[in-house]
């Protein structure tokens, strides 16, 4: 047991050992430089007799023997020294002092070889030896001041924030498996990110350039097509992902029981686009389908309306557009039920428009408030209800959009086992608002059509999902049993909240089962860090006192991946969680790793990609004729219906004529 008395006794012993070392060195000086001491009259008969008796022990039989013994006693004294700890002291400086001291201590012998005055030689020898002795003692004292129990040098705490990850390849007929590597206990380990159940949805988060598409989304596309999935791809920067899907389809289409067809929607390159009617009458079974379509297109064109749903001047335009859509769905069994015909019919004069709409009893409850306002000359109210819809829909009234939306070259039942499809729809960042609204209509209609029993497994891939106004929540929540895998690419949760509102954004963020997150910051990084959870980490603290240092070590739960680490991830470095199946348990669900892409092989593969095929030759004349034909169709509908009503006395009362 260490007490104050023990420390005091130890210090006395060390002082005595050091004193013995000095006495031996002084005796050595007296013997070697006896002539000089005699000249200075520093000798006596008593000291000579004592020295002679000491010499009989053999201490002075060799020149180096007393110096070595003196140095040995000094070393013993230094071993027990406990100097005041100094963080600035280094081993390098201490050793330099000691080595220099030893050199001077023993090299002083050469001074005795100098021919000169006896006194000068003696002084030089003793001074050089003493200097070496003092330097060696100083260096030894410095060693005792060095802090030996220093804390670990991992200033960013990377080693402590590492944790074991799944290193097995767990593959099934639905999985997406990404090779990766991670650092743990100072070594790099190979691992696998196993998304074995994407029917519980995958959320891919990351700021621009973090590698969402290159490291994750492209592999979802290629691996799912290889495994026989029907697929829908929303390509924000057409044709980046569409080309990947097309070339993968060319390579693996023989893997399907029924070879799927490939279709693409591209509003910018009409020669490489197929034509599709999102309001196809065969898929609009009741009025609720028209309501959903109207809501989707108007909210897509007016993103601020998303947060104002329920307001009078938001719901009124939706009801008005619903009435027109459902009227065209019922007229001649939907022959003219297309979005371009809807837009043109909205522009007709109120007398003709309300008269025609009034002939359809199913929409009477929707159109009556507008007719009443019109008859009561409530012009301001009517314009507030209708004009916002007409002005909004006018943004879509372009010949190129009319051309794509008025044809029916394929239907949206992509997971039909008898006619599977791979469909790519492209947006354009420069025309985001208009294209996004139309594509939102496509996706909403598609989601409702495919979410049925006994269909082919299908994969939905949305790059930059917040640019759409799509109600994806029901598909994520219920599509699992219908084998619908959903992948959402998002830059940040704040982007989702901005376009969908906080409540809906939080639901999307929280119901997904799989998550791969690249570099994000702020609240998103904090939320992801909390979802990954905490791990047990070692903690150390250093205490320095006069004579010693002490380190306290403990364990405590800390974030496995702190928000600050997520905000500093490199491109291709992802953190996240995977979901498992009841029959395929994954114990290590969390990951923080670098996804390993074979860049050379991918570049070679990309260089060999074929461009999207040309569907048809399209000229400006064809587009213009289609545009004019739609306008003529709407005029014919109005004229035919007005003539029918006026010629029948039993229906003439339905004709509205404002005085």
Mean pLDDT, range 113-119, rounded to an integer = 78
Q: CA nearest 425: which of 269, 293, 303, 301?
A: 269
Mean pLDDT, range 129-138, rounded to an integer = 86
Output the CA–CA distances (angstroms, integers) from residue 241 to 214, 244, 409, in the order listed. 10, 5, 22
pLDDT score recorded for residue 1: 46
* β pairing state of 534-544 and 549-559: antiparallel
Query: Which comes out higher in pLDDT, residue 201 or 655?
Result: 201
Measure CA 337 to chain center.
Answer: 43
pLDDT score recorded for residue 419: 94
> pLDDT band for position 546 (50/70/90)?
low
pLDDT(570) > 90 = yes
Q: Round to whole Å and give the CA distance between 306 and 501.
A: 7
* β pairing state of 590-595 and 458-462: unpaired
Mean pLDDT, range 338-361, rounded to an integer = 89
Mention every residue, 6+ apart, whose C-beta is less than 8 A from residue 179.
190, 191, 192, 595, 596
pLDDT(403) > 90 = yes
Q: What percent of the chain has pLDDT over 70?
A: 93
Query: DSSP letters of 218-266?
Result: HHHHHHHHHTT-EEEEEETTTTHHHHHHHHHHHHHGGGSSSPPEEEEE-
Sheet containing 484-490: order of strands: 187-195, 176-184, 590-595, 573-577, 514-517, 202-205, 484-490, 458-462, 230-235, 421-426, 261-265
Q: Please say whether the beta carbons of 244 and 373 come within 8 A.
A: no
pLDDT score recorded for residue 558: 85
Mean pLDDT, range 141-153, rounded to an integer = 65
- b/e code 473-486 from CB counts within 10 Å (16+ = b): eebbeebbebbbbb
Lowest mean pLDDT among 455-459, 500-504, 507-511: 500-504
Q: What percent of the chain has pLDDT over 90?
A: 46
Q: 90 in helix, strand or coil? A: coil
pLDDT in tens, 593-623: 999 999 999 999 999 999 999 999 999 999 9
Highest mean pLDDT among 242-251, 360-369, 384-393: 242-251
Lowest mean pLDDT among 15-19, 167-171, 291-295, 420-424: 15-19
Mean pLDDT, range 106-134, rounded to an integer = 82
pLDDT score recorded for residue 132: 85
pLDDT(545) > 80 = no
CATH topology of domain 176-276+409-607: Rossmann fold (3.40.50)
Q: Average model confidence (pLDDT) for the chain?
A: 86
pLDDT score recorded for residue 499: 83
pLDDT score recorded for residue 374: 80
Residue 403 in tokens: 């051309």
Mean pLDDT, range 96-100, rounded to an integer = 87
So where are the chain's domains?
4-145, 176-276+409-607, 281-398+619-654
Q: Please say whether the beta carbons of 426 and 265 come within 8 A.
A: yes
pLDDT in tens, 232-260: 999 988 889 999 999 999 999 999 999 99
Query: DSSP letters of 108-134?
Result: GGGGGGS-S-HHHHHHHHHHHHHHHHH
Output the CA–CA distances (angstroms, integers) from residue 246 to 213, 299, 399, 421, 535, in the order listed. 16, 31, 27, 11, 43
Mean pLDDT, range 67-77, rounded to an integer = 81
pLDDT in tens, 3-33: 556 667 777 887 788 888 888 788 777 777 8
Query: Which comes out higher in pLDDT, residue 642 or 648?
Result: 642
Q: CA nearest 247: which of 225, 230, 265, 268?
A: 225
Lowest mean pLDDT among 40-44, 137-141, 195-199: 40-44
pLDDT score recorded for residue 313: 72
Mean pLDDT, range 632-637, rounded to an integer = 94
pLDDT score recorded for residue 276: 94
Highest mean pLDDT among 9-13, 114-118, 312-316, 634-638: 634-638
Output the CA–CA distances (angstroms, integers) from residue 336 to 155, 342, 343, in the order listed. 69, 9, 12
* β pairing state of 230-235 and 421-426: parallel
Q: Please say whether the beta carbons of 546 and 84 come within 8 A.
A: yes
Q: Please say whether the beta carbons of 441 and 373 come within 8 A.
A: no
Mean pLDDT, range 115-136, rounded to an integer = 83
pLDDT in tens, 441-496: 999 999 999 999 999 999 999 999 998 888 899 999 999 999 999 999 999 999 89
> pLDDT band for position 84 (50/70/90)?
low
Q: CA nearest 346: which of 315, 395, 389?
A: 389
Residue 259 in tokens: 């070879």
Q: Round to whole Å and give the CA distance between 450 and 422.
A: 13
- By CB atoms closer than 10 A (0-12, 13-18, 19+), residue 402 is buried
pLDDT score recorded for residue 555: 83
pLDDT score recorded for residue 148: 57
- C-alpha count within 13 angstroms, C-beta hemisphere, residue 132: 21
Query: What region, left, alpha or beta, does residue 300 occupy, with left being phi > 0 and alpha being psi -120 to 50 degrees?
Result: alpha
Q: Round to whole Å and give the CA distance between 277 and 273.
A: 13
pLDDT(80) > 60 = yes
> pLDDT band for position 536 (50/70/90)?
confident
Lowest mean pLDDT among 112-121, 243-252, 314-323, 352-361: 112-121
pLDDT in tens, 157-213: 777 888 999 999 999 999 999 999 999 988 999 999 999 999 999 999 999 999 999
């Amino acid at each position: 047991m260490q007490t104050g008395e023990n420390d005091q006794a130890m210090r006395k012993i060390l002082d005595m050992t050091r004193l013995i070392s000095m006495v031996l060195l002084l005796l050595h000086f007296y013997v070697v430089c006896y002539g000089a001491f005699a000249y200075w009259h520093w000798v006596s008969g008593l000291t000579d007799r004592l020295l002679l008796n000491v010499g009989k022990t053999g201490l002075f039989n060799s020149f180096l023997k007393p110096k070595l013994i003196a140095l040995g006693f000094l070393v013993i004294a230094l071993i027990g020294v406990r100097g005041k700890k100094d963080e600035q002291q280094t081993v390098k400086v201490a050793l330099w002092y000691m080595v220099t001291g030893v050199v001077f201590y023993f090299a002083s012998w050469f001074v005795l070889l100098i021919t000169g005055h006896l006194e000068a030689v003696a002084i030089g020898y003793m001074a050089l030896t003493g200097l070496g002795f003092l330097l060696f003692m100083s260096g030894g004292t410095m060693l005792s001041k060095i802090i030996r129990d220093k804390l670990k040098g991992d200033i960013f705490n990377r080693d402590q924030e590492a944790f074991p990850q799944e290193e097995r390849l767990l593959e099934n007929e639905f999985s997406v498996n990404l090779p990766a590597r991670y650092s743990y206990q100072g070594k790099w380990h190979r691992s696998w990110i196993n998304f074995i159940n994407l029917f519980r949805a995958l959320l891919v988060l990351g700021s621009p350039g973090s590698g969402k598409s290159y490291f994750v989304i492209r592999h979802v596309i290629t691996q799912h097509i290889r495994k026989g999935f029907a697929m829908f791809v929303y390509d924000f920067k057409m044709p980046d992902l569409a080309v990947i899907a097309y070339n993968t389809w060319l390579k693996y289409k023989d893997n399907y029981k029924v070879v799927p067809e490939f279709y693409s929607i591209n509003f910018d390159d009409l020669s490489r686009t197929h034509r599709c009617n999102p309001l196809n009458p065969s898929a609009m079974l009741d009025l609720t389908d028209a309501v959903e379509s109207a809501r989707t297109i108007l909210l897509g064109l007016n993103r601020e309306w998303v947060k104002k749903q329920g307001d009078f001047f938001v719901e009124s335009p939706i009801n008005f557009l619903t009435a027109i859509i459902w009227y065209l769905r019922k007229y001649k069994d939907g022959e003219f039920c297309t979005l371009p015909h809807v837009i043109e019919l909205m522009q007709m004069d109120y007398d003709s428009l309300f008269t025609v709409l009034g002939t359809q009893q199913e929409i009477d409850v929707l159109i009556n408030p507008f007719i009443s306002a019109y008859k009561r000359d409530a012009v301001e109210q009517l314009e507030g209800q209708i004009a916002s819809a007409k002005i909004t829909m006018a943004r879509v009234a372009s010949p190129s959009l009319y051309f794509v939306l008025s044809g029916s070259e394929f239907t949206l039942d992509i997971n039909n086992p008898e006619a599977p499809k791979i469909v790519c729809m492209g947006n354009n960042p420069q025309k985001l608002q208009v294209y996004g609204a139309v594509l939102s209509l496509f996706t909403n209609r598609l989601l409702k059509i495919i979410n049925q029993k006994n269909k082919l497994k299908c994969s939905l891939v949305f790059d930059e999902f917040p640019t759409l106004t799509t109600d994806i929540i029901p598909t994520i929540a219920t599509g699992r049993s219908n084998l619908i895998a959903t992948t959402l690419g998002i830059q940040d949760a704040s982007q989702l909240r901005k376009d969908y509102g906080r409540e809906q954004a939080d639901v999307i963020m929280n119901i997904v089962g799989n998550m791969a997150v690249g570099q994000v910051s702020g609240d998103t990084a904090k939320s992801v860090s909390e979802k990954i959870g905490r791990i047990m980490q070692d903690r150390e603290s250093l205490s320095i006192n006069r004579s010693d240092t002490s380190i306290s070590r403990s364990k405590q739960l800390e974030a496995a991946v702190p928000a600050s680490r997520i905000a500093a991830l490199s491109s291709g470095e992802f953190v996240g969680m995977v979901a498992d199946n009841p029959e395929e348990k994954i114990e290590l669900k969390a990951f923080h790793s670098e996804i390993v892409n074979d860049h050379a092989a991918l570049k070679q593969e990309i260089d060999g990609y074929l461009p999207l095929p040309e569907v048809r030759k399209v000229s400006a004349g064809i587009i213009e004729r289609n545009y004019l034909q739609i306008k003529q169709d709407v005029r014919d509908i109005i004229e035919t219906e007005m003539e029918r009503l006026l010629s029948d006395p039993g229906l003439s009362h339905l004709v509205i004529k404002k005085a």
